[in-house]
Structure 1
Amino acid sequence: MALSRSARRGSRLLALATAAAAATSIAAAPGASPGAPGVGDPYFPNLGNGGYDALHYDLGVRYDPPSGRLDGRTTITARATQDLSSFNLDLQKLEVTSITVDGKRAAFTRAGDEITVTPKYTIRDGRQFKVTVVYGGVPLPLSGPIVFGSDYGWMKTKDGVFVACEPNAASTWFPSSDHPSDKAAFDIRIDSPAGLTGVSNGRLIDSWEKDGRSYQHWRTKKPMATYLATATIGKFNVRTGTTPGGIPIYVATDPVLPTGGVDVYGVTAEATDYWSEVFGPYPFEETGAIVDDMPQAGFSLETQTKPIYSAVRNETTIVHELAHQWFGDSVSVKDWRHIWLNEGFASYSQWLWDEHKGRRSAHDSFIAAYNARPADSPFWKVKIGDPQRDTMFAQGVYTRGAMTLQVLRERIGDDDFFELLPLWTKLHRYGNATTDAFIRLAEKVSGEDLDDLFQTWLFTDTKPALP
């Protein structure tokens, strides 16, 4: 039955009134509350944000090396995990120009490194939404005792910038939920002066020069922790190809660095393939390296798909950072107390590599490291199962973590040990894990009660007796 014109008009008015009432009810939805300003990490309470799960970052950054200025536009696609009246983003020091949520201007306030965003309407639990932030300024590196007393984060070089952000410096150059428990896919677009190259994570989607500018678009489809993102810019010699096992590889090397020494491309290809046999299938779309002239950084970092090195490093550094692609990048810590799951495993990989090459057994490496440190050494004072924030990168976390794994290997035997490693990376692939989860899995695989072993090697502050 057809409606009359007046009836149709009345129907439209009713629909509009109903929609307006619904919008009003959304704006004042009962039970909605602000998302937490942090995820509750005991070392960094305000890192990350509650109330939503970041799914994808679309980063556009324009960098001017002479002034050091960065202008950015970041769009985060997220899913609400509660009814949100407001939510937070982590951003350090840079100035925010505007924020929109689903294309509509949103109010925002700032308290230190926390941006509180209040959208026009409540974001319902389970709903996806997009937040776009326009911002700019001069990013500054962080410093302090955490990372070997070195600067870290966004660090200027002679021709660009070296970007290595573990554990809490991603938010010095883009707004984020800056904690490894909130991983996401990334598109990163880098705009810099012509003649420079921006290198980032994943695969290079496009690259061109226009009007005196150089543009690169990188994409990583696999989940990535924010601290593993990079937008390193400079003059680079680039070599691409595939490893013997067929994994795409991209290696960028600063041309001012001396040639010879370690073959970064060759070792990267070989180690990626070997770890794929030992730890399980390579978890990402590309492997590689960024080697930049940045000796003052004093460290390298396992940026996802392309570890970044502050100079030409030795072979053992390369195999360490590549092992992190499994331990730290694919399987990330639930919170920073569990950092030995990253560094102990990557350090143990150096012993496994020497064993693989026939240079020295992992057992002999363990004994040498054990004997090199007397009982009164500060090395033994850090309980590496919970090392505390300012000593989370202490040498004990690395080497004593490796010792723990060798003791475990000798306790349960090679068959169970080398079943355990790829099973661990398979069960927690692209996710987050804890020390307790590793202990339980080791006990399940071996059929043994291992609490005494892990208590002794992870949670005591004295030099353990040899088993």
Structure 2
Amino acid sequence: MRRALVALIATAATLAGTTLPALAAPAPGAPGLGDEYFPDYGNSGYDVSHYDIRLRYYPDTDTLTGTTTILATATQDLSSFNLDFILDVTSVRVNNRVATAARTGDHELVVTPPRGLAAGQPMTVVVQYSGVPSSKRAAGSTAWTKTPDGALAVGEPEMSWWWFPANDHPADKATFDVSVSVPDGVEAISNGVQSRPPSPEILGWTRWSWRSVKPMATYLAFLAIGQYDLRTDTAPNGQPVLTAYSQLLAPDYADAARASVERTAEVIDWESGLFGPYPFEAQGGVVAPPGAISFALENQTRPVYSARFFRGGSNTYVVVHELAHQWFGDSVSVAQWKHIWLNEGFASYAEWLWSQAQGEGTAQEIFDYTYAHYPADSPFWSVKPGDPGAADVFDGAVYDRGAMTLHQLRLAVGDTAFFDIVRTWTTTHRYGNGTTDEFVALAERISGKELDALFQTWLFTPAKPDVATAPAASAASLRAAAPHQPKSWAAIQRAHALLSGH
């Protein structure tokens, strides 16, 4: 059809006595979306709308076999395109025709269809594969974690490479179906809602199926396979809640984990009052086996927590942090990884607000403690949260100084404007992406104030800011707003120390 159209246009042009320039030949899509920190993450030339991931996992050998079907649209005339993936590929088909696949770099799979793809053309890409994910290394690590009873696919900023081929960057979100066959008696947990109950597949195997109907960044898709105790409930907003706890948790802190994560629906209800309606279709959380991971991650609809967060007792702060990410990071994702403070600063500030609501230290008192905690010559102040660099994407300054930036904004514009800014941000960028410049512009528009100096000082200046000129009246009002004052500085220190890893 395209060739016929070109011929028709050329004939018409000839009859009219004009000469048309030759159409550009289809070209390869770039092996990256141009991220400043991770230039080869994601791929250009197409936009994904849906991933259908169908897997079988063998826990005894850590072997994964699978077929992923990708629904996408070409955004340029393509002769080939890239996928981010490192397992062994058996076959690739593009629009029902066999394509060739070749590897380049440590995680790039170059797919060449038998005929080019035109801009705007739908793409159905079917990749069949297998491998032992924990044996594969890329980006200097192995993100897939083999556990004593199964495996965990949980990581940031890259994770999909070890279990499904993808356009792996937050700038290209999609909906997901994840279906996993595992031996009977083993649980397989992922994002969203169960699209069907766990069902026998063949003798000795059970299939678990999950569906995420809201757009999701690829690194937020997760898989937890092993022996888990599952709990189900209904949230105050009517949504399904599913929590899961590794059966390998030691008895002395298994109850502390449950006492924290079982408050998920309560925390989401509270955060909805601050940030706007909860953006997704399900709620929950997963506590991983001891030693499996050392961090918590805000996997969409169902964060995954390291067991270490609960060894000292209950810890709702990490739950508050990861659930705040459902708005900041999951629904509103970064356009580039340099803007990571928009994720971590908000999630950390949510902990401060929770502390105040619980009477364990006001946001102002935690700010004061954090500011005093780091002397002027501390390396903490040398990292610019607004542009930390690829090596420091998850530095403590991104979290703490990011939260301090938001507190200074709140002091500068007042509570009414501040929470209007927050809710407008989560509404206008819902299921999309955002940048620091866009956030600053929104804050200035709503507050009517010029805020460049504030953000330059707190996000982009590698030195300890001077807070001597902070609005004293606003600070006092924030202290007075707390329902209860903390009994001692120990309460504030406890709140500060419970910041989560991600």
Corresponding residue of 2:46? 52
- In structure 2, the residue matched to 1:442 is 443
Deviating above 6 A after TM superposition, structure 1's stretches of 4 or more consecutive aligned residues are: 141-146
The answer for the alignment partner of 2:246 in structure 1 is 254
- 1:56 CA drift (Å): 0.3
- Equivalent position SS for 2:213: strand
The aligned length equals 442
> Structure 1's 152 and 372: CA in aligned 2 closer, same or farther, altered over 3 A?
farther
Kept in 1, the 8 Å contact 2:145–2:292? The answer is no
Q: Which residue of 2 aligns with 1:325?
A: 326
Q: Does 1:40 align with 2:51?
A: no
Secondary structure, aligned partner of 1:237: strand
1:347 alignment partner AA? S
Q: CA deviation at 1:29?
A: 7.5
Structure 2 counterpart SS, 1:79: strand
The match for 1:294 is 290
Partner of 2:341: 340
SS class of match (1:186): strand
Residue 96 (structure 1) aligned to one of 85, 89, 93 = 89
Larger deviation: 280-289 or 202-211?
202-211
CA distance in 1, matches of 2:119, 2:416: 46
| Cα separation, 2, equivalents of 1:454 and 1:126 | 40
| Length-normalised TM-score, structure 1 | 0.91
Which range moved further: 263-272 or 125-134? Answer: 263-272
Distance 2:345 2:2 in 1: 57
**Counterpart residue type for residue 288 of structure 2:** D
Matches of 1:393 and 1:144 in 2, distance apart? 19
Secondary structure class of the residue paired with 2:53: strand
Equivalent pairs: percent with the same residue?
49
Match of 1:137 among 131, 151, 157: 131
Question: Bigger shift: 117-126 or 385-394?
Answer: 117-126
Counterpart of 1:209 in structure 2: which amino acid? Answer: P
Report 1:67-106 matches (<5 A): 67-92=61-86, 94-106=87-99
Pick from 214, 219, 241: which aligns with 2:233?
A: 241
CA distance in 2, matches of 1:74, 1:87: 16
Letter of the structure 2 residue corresponding to residue 345 of structure 1? F
Provide, for residues 327-351 of structure 1, a one-character-per-residue CA deviation record: whole Å limited to 9, x for no partner. 0000000010000000111000000
Aligned equivalent of 1:306, options 294, 302, 321: 302
Do the aligned partners of 1:153 and 1:163 also contact (CA within 8 Å) in 2? yes
Q: Of the candidates 176, 182, 198, which is equivalent to residue 188 of structure 2?
A: 198
C-alpha distance in structure 2 between counterparts of 1:153 and 1:75, whole Å:
22
- Assess if the C-alpha contact under 8 Å between 1:264 and 1:289 holds in 2: no
Following superposition, the deviation at residue 358 of structure 1 comes to 2.0
Deviations 1:372-406 (A, max 9, x none): 11011111110111101111100000000000000
Superposed, 1:48-447 pairs within 5 Å as: 48-92=42-86, 94-112=87-105, 113-140=107-134, 153-206=143-196, 207-210=198-201, 211-257=203-249, 258=251, 259-262=254-257, 263-311=259-307, 313=310, 314-447=315-448
In 2: Cα distance, 1:421 partner to 1:132 partner? 40
Distance 1:224 1:20, change over 3 A: closer
Closer, same or farther in 2 for the Cα pair 1:152/1:350, shift >3 Å?
farther
Secondary structure of residue in 2 paired with 1:88: strand
| C-alpha separation in 1, matches of 2:95 and 2:238 | 41
Counterpart contact for 2:261–2:319, Cα < 8 Å: no
Deviations 1:434-463 (A, max 9, x none): 000000000011000000000000001110
Contact 2:235 2:241 (C-alpha < 8 Å) held by counterparts: yes
Where in structure 1 are there 5+ consecutive unaligned residues? 1-18
Residue 483 (structure 2) aligns with: none
**Counterpart of 1:208 in structure 2: which amino acid?**
S
Backbone CA RMSD of aligned residues: 2.1
TM-score normalised by length of structure 2 = 0.85
The answer to whether the 8 Å contact 2:134/2:142 transfers is: no
C-alpha distance in 2, partners of 1:434/1:444? Answer: 16
Contact 2:261 2:316 in 1 (8 A): no
Moved more, 328-337 or 239-248: 239-248
- CA gap of 1:141–1:275, structure 2 versus 1, over 3 A, is farther
- The residue type equivalent to 1:316 in the other structure is Y
Partner Cα separation in structure 1 for residue 192 and residue 24 of structure 2: 42
Aligned partners of 1:41 and 1:336 also within 8 Å: yes
Which amino acid counterpart does residue 391 of structure 1 have in structure 2?
D
Structure 2 CA distance, aligned partners of 1:115 and 1:296?
A: 28
Q: Say if 1:23 and 1:121, in contact at 8 Å, map to a contact too.
A: no
Partner SS for 1:443: helix
What one-letter code is carried by the residue in structure 1 that aligns with 2:256? G
> In 2, Cα distance between the equivalents of 1:463 and 1:144?
36
Displacement, 1:465?
Answer: 0.7
SS in 1 for 2:256: coil
Q: 1:190 to 1:296 in 2, by over 3 A?
A: closer
State whether residues 147 and 292 of structure 2, in contact with CA within 8 Å, keep that contact through their aligned partners in structure 1.
Answer: no
Question: Per the alignment, do residues 68 and 286 of structure 1 end up closer, same or farther by CA in structure 2, a change over 3 Å counting?
Answer: same
- Other structure's SS at 2:152 match: strand
Amino acid at match of 1:250: L
Partner of 1:15: none
1:255 Cα offset (Å): 2.2
Change in CA separation of 1:165 and 1:23 when aligned onto 2, cut-off 3 Å = farther
